[in-house]
Amino acid sequence: MDTTIHTIDESNVNRFGFFCYKSKTKTAGYKQKREWLESCLAEGLQLKIIYEGSRSAGFIEYTPGEYTWRVVDAPGYMVIHCMWVVGSSKGKGYGARLLEQVLDEAKNKGMYGVVVISSQSTWLVKNSFFLHHGFESVDHAPPSFELLVRRFGSGNLPTFPQDWDVRLMRFPSGLVVYHSGQCPYHAMFVSSLVNTANQMGLPVRTVELKTCQEVRGLSPSANGVFSVVKDGQLLSSRPIGGKTLREMLEKENG
């Protein structure tokens, strides 16, 4: 089956969407992602969707390190935010083709290389894929994040910050949900968490990270765009719903 890769911009985003939530254009999450994408495209963000015939099979989202929404210091590098190939399309080399788009663009722009955050225990692409394509591991961040880089030049290596404890204690008591418009699923998770916290009588605060600078300066986890903290402890560095929160707290309390 013929495959094509579409680069998403303001001229075609309403036609192709941004892969996730394509059929849910009326939801708050879709609208937040749409607004987020518009502002980030102006900063150099790229979103490419690979199509298998008329069906979207996967995507990759990346941006220059100076504008990344991941908590990493990587000026002069391209940073991959997200990469996904749907189950029925895996094993066909689509991930490699999407990654090639990023590598080629970074080389053509004379950048130092390409950076990605990986984790063996979350939804992120596992490190084995990137190591197979010439990346190397250069740093780690709690609870299970790994910083990988494919270098072209002699620039300084990208790094994670080292002030995670300070970030966690910005609000030392109650439940704190950090979120952003980078993912259209976030709105649903934030609403679910707030509702459950209220039902349990748990003080809850939501912190919307509205710029890449806020993410890199304030987020308590390397993923950057969504975190859940309770009493200064990181509960989750990925989106979770109220049911999961309740189970975690009940387990914590015995």
- Rounded CA separation 81/63 (Å): 7
Question: CB-based contacts of 43: which residues, under 8 Å, 6+ apart?
Answer: 63, 64, 67, 212
What's the pLDDT score for residue 252? 83
Measured at the alpha carbon of residue 96, what is the angle toward residues 95 and 101, in degrees to the nearest 5? 100
The residues, ordered by sequence, that sit 6+ positions from 31 with a Cβ below 8 Å of its Cβ are none
Beta partners for residue 179, in sequence order: 208, 226
pLDDT confidence of residue 1: 66
- Residue at token pair 């102006």: 42
Cβ proximity of 149 and 207 under 8 Å: no
Q: Helices in the chain by DSSP H: which ranges?
A: 13-16, 28-41, 94-108, 127-132, 164-168, 186-199, 212-218, 242-252
Q: Are 166 and 3 in contact (CB under 8 A)?
A: no
Q: How confident is the model at residue 123, as a pLDDT?
A: 73
If one counts every other C-beta atom within 10 angstroms of the C-beta of residue 1, the result is: 9
Q: How far, in Å, are 168, 173, 194, 199 from residue 246 at the CA level? A: 21, 17, 11, 10
What is the 3-state composition of the chain as percent helix, strand, coil, each rounded to the nearest 5? 30, 30, 40
Taken in order of first residue, the domains within the chain and their CATH numbers are: 3-151 (3.40.630.30), 164-252 (3.40.30.10)
pTM: 0.94
231: left (phi over 0), alpha (psi -120 to 50) or beta: left
Question: Each residue's pLDDT tens digit in the chain (254 positions)?
Answer: 689 999 999 999 988 888 887 768 889 999 999 999 999 999 999 999 999 998 999 999 999 999 999 999 999 999 999 999 988 888 999 999 999 999 999 999 999 999 999 987 767 788 999 999 999 999 999 999 999 999 998 889 999 999 999 999 999 999 999 999 999 999 999 999 999 999 999 999 999 999 999 999 999 999 999 999 999 999 999 999 999 999 999 988 76
CB 58 within 8 A of CB 98: yes
Stated length of the chain: 254
Bridge partners, 110 (sequence order): none
